[in-house]
Amino acid sequence: MPFEALRFIHASNVYLDHQLQDPGTANDEHKRLLEDATTTAFERLIDHAVQRQVDFLLLTGNTFVEAEHSLRARVVLLNGFRKLAEHDIEVFVVPGAVDPPFAWKNCDNLPENVVQFSIDNEEPVAVLRGGHVIASIAPAVLGSTGSRRPIVPAVRSERPRGGGAPTRPFAIGLFNPADEGTELLPTETSASQSCPSESDVELEQHVTSLLNTGTFDYLAVGCHDLRRTWHGNSGLSHSPGCPQGRRSTHAGPHGCTLVEVDAEGTVNCHMLPVAAVRWVNLAVEIEPETSQDDLLMHMLGELQTIQSETVETLWLVKWMIRGCGPLWQALQSESLRNNVLEFCELEAELPPGVQQQHRIRLQSAESVLEGDHETDWLPREYMQHLQAEQPLTRETLSALLQQVDFPDTRWSKRLQALSAVTSRDAITHRAQQLGIEWFGTTPEEEAAA
């Protein structure tokens, strides 16, 4: 059955005015870019909607963080909605974990073009063009049957004005994994991910089961930071990811999705990059014989391989230098690391308009932990003790805290809480480094030996 061709933008996890996690030390210019990263992405998203004359905008959860009470987020949101209203573009909003329904209800002065969905209200909403329905949007709930489609009044087959075969509305389902009984955390500060309990496998199962009901032509998945598409028998499901990566795990280009449906019902999803700040994670392995020049050339080479989007203005490059040997030891010196980063910033041929901010994290090779200290008993013993504690768990850290004599519970509670969010790798690496500092031999000593 043919459809009315339509076009809309699907975005999720906008996190308006939410700040990026651990972007590193930034200068004033970079700081401004970083602070405005999420709002910039949203404004670009609105501009895309206007420029491409979409039929509507779909925001599937986590548009802003209610717990932060950000006025700026609300202002940017309302300005964007008003701009869309001026161009007769409707906005369909699904509350998420961090922007629950009550937060949307508290939003005064929402323009009339904004339609808010909630879990309680499963009624489909019709999208009209020229007086007839071109699409229906409804929340998708696991366990519900495919009988929702006839609910929409406009689902009646309509004959187009110019004659021809009757058409039916394009059915869009809104699926927010956070709604499926997931315990949602109030802020992202304490949550490492938006959908922490939703593993990819479970999500895929849910999406597949929803698609297989045949109820929806397009299942809009929200509250998922990763951009993914699942194809079903009668439609497809899509998660646009977040328009702006908020932490280093969100590496690569980010944006929203332009969904285009032609008369045959073929759905095409194109990513529209809107993220001004891009996280770039690069790993470099160094061997004992690697020289500093080799390392610098390798790093420059790695940077050259990255394809840039035109909207990007700042790259947050995080280097993971893994290995061992004299150069790796020398990189423990902050001055040398700064020299390396300075060289990268000066020599890297980035696309025009893109600024860069580099950081280095060191990770020792396995051989260091396993103990390459055949002759020295003490470091070997130390590393063996560390190795015996691997993998480092929260329980290990709790046991560690119990050994410490705290004068009161304030610090023990704080550190107990930190033990849940602190990087175990960082702890292990630092402990190894301390061992090397305390018991290791300097290159001079190795030479003397």
Rounded Cα distance, 89 and 354, in Å: 32
Interaction between residue 83 and other proteins (CB under 8 A): no
Interaction between residue 261 and other proteins (CB under 8 A): no
Stretch that binds other proteins, among 110-118, 138-146, 262-270, 393-401 (CB under 8 A): 393-401
Tokens 């891009």, residue located: 278
Rounded Cα distance, 109 and 339, in Å: 52
Number of residues that bind other proteins (CB under 8 A): 57
Residues 418-437 that bind other proteins (CB under 8 A): 418-419, 421-423, 426-431, 433-435, 437
Q: Which of 385, 390, 442, 443 binds other proteins (CB under 8 A)?
A: 385
**Tokens standing for residue 422:** 């602190």
Interaction between residue 251 and other proteins (CB under 8 A): no
Give the nearer residue to other proteins in terms of CB position, either 37 or 58: 37
Residue among 223, 249, 239 nearest 99 (CA)? 223
Interaction between residue 102 and other proteins (CB under 8 A): no
Binding-residue pattern over the window 17 to 46 for other proteins, x denoting contact by CB under 8 A: xxxxxxx-x-----x--xxx----------
Rounded Cα distance, 353 and 377, in Å: 54
Rounded Cα distance, 175 and 138, in Å: 9
CB of 99 to other proteins, least distance (A): 14
Rounded Cα distance, 28 and 21, in Å: 17
Interaction between residue 386 and other proteins (CB under 8 A): yes
Interaction between residue 159 and other proteins (CB under 8 A): no
Interaction between residue 382 and other proteins (CB under 8 A): yes
Backbone angles phi, psi at 283, to 5 degrees: -120, 140
Stretch that binds other proteins, among 230-238, 343-351, 366-374, 406-414 (CB under 8 A): 406-414
Q: Is 59 helix (H, G, I), strand (E, B) or coil?
A: strand
**Residues 6 or more apart in contact with residue 59 via CB below 8 angstroms:** 11, 12, 14, 91, 92, 93, 94
Rounded Cα distance, 85 and 50, in Å: 10
Interaction between residue 93 and other proteins (CB under 8 A): no
Burial of 133 from C-beta contacts in 10 A (0-12 / 13-18 / 19+): buried
Q: What is the DSSP letter of 105?
A: H
Interaction between residue 400 and other proteins (CB under 8 A): yes
Residues 187-246 that bind other proteins (CB under 8 A): 189
Q: Which residues bind other proteins (CB under 8 A)?
A: 17-23, 25, 31, 34-36, 68-72, 74-75, 108-109, 189, 377-378, 381-382, 385-386, 389, 397, 400-401, 403-404, 406-408, 411, 414-415, 418-419, 421-423, 426-431, 433-435, 437-439
